[in-house]
Amino acid sequence: MLTKDIIGKLSLEQREVLAKAEFFKSQRRQKLFEQARGRDWRSRYFPLYIFCVCLVFIGMFCFNLFDCQKSPVICYLLIGIVLASVVRFEIARTNRRVDALLELLDLDRMEREDQKMQTDPKVG
């Protein structure tokens, strides 16, 4: 762990490099937290996609495109395809969230090991 005394002894350029590294590290953690919580842009717009698809199907049925009122099999087929893709996207979203959690766990482990090495009197 870097203390104020050690940082005070560094030159101005070294402090700037250290500050940038810490900034990028905290920015990466923040993005991973947002992704793990499901607050990234993909998760926010996901309900909008489902709503738009439902509007398309309602429009197809109301305007009788492809004779949907006589034989609704076409609508059922399209709805099945859309539902399958929705399930696939939901699984992919869950996998992204789990990956973000695992990456956060790895970062925490590396940080704990670094702190342990810096405070260990046997090292250096």
Give pLDDT tens digits for 24-66: 999 999 999 988 888 766 667 777 777 887 888 788 778 887 7
**DSSP states along 25-58:** HHHHHHHHHHHHHT-SHHHHHHHHHHHHHHHHHH
Distances 9 to 21, 23, 106, 124 between C-alpha atoms, Å: 18, 20, 31, 18
pLDDT-above-90 percentage for the chain: 22
DSSP 123: -
Reported pTM: 0.66
